[in-house]
Amino acid sequence: MEGKYLLSIIGLSYVSVAGIIAELGSFSSYQNAKQLIKMAGSNPTESESGGKRHSHTPISKQGRPVLRHCAWTAVIPMLRFNPDFRDWAEKLRERPAGANPLSGREVMVAAVNKLLRLAFALVKNQALYQIPESQPVEIAIKEVSNTSGGQGNTAGSFGSSYEPTRKKTWCPALLAKPV
C-alpha cells in the first residue's frame, strides 16, 4: 500500500522502493521524517576537536547501512530524471562561496534526506507525487543557408538551399508517469 505512493515519484524504481520499504517497515511506526533520516544514518553530525570545526559536516552512519545504500542508489536516477530534484541539486551546487555551496557527495546526502522526508510526507498524507507546473519549453529555430561554389544566394539556384534546423531543449514533462 505504501509502495504506490513512493512509485509516483519520478526516478524511483520498483527495486528502490522495495529496498526502502523492506528496511523501514511500516511507516505508521514513525512519528516524523527525522526518525527515518536517523534510521538511515544520514543525519549530519557536528565534528569538533579542540574547539576547531571542520569545513564539511559528516553524516552519523549510526543507522542501517542497507537502508542508506538503498536510498543512495535510489537518489542517483532521481537526480537525473526528476526535474524538481535536479533543479534543487543544481541550486545547492551553484550557490555562491559565501552561501556554502555543496560538493557532489554532500548534495547526494542532502538528496537522500529529501527523499526520505518526501516519502514520509507522501505516505502519511496518502498522496501521490505531483509535478509542479512546468515552465514552457523554449524551442530555438535557427535559419541556416548553405552556399557552395560561389553560386550566390538566390533561391532557385542549385547548391543554395534554405534548411531551417531546430534545436530542441529537453522537456521534463515528456518523462512524467501517467497518474
Question: Which letter does DSSP use for residue 159 in this model?
Answer: T
pLDDT in tens, 67-90: 889 888 999 999 899 888 888 888
Where does the pLDDT of residue 100 fall: very low under 50, low under 70, confident under 90, or very high at 90 and above? Answer: confident
pLDDT in tens, 41-65: 887 777 666 666 666 667 667 788 8
State the CB neighbour count (10 A cutoff) for residue 23: 19
pLDDT of 48 reads 67
Looking at residues 11-35, what average pLDDT do you find? 90
C-alpha to C-alpha distance for 177 and 179, rounded to whole angstroms: 6
Where does the pLDDT of residue 149 fall: very low under 50, low under 70, confident under 90, or very high at 90 and above? Answer: low
pLDDT of 60 reads 67
pLDDT of 122 reads 92
pTM: 0.67
For the chain, the domains span: 2-46+57-125, 139-169
Q: Are 33 and 121 in contact (CB under 8 A)?
A: yes
- All three cell numbers of 167: 534545436
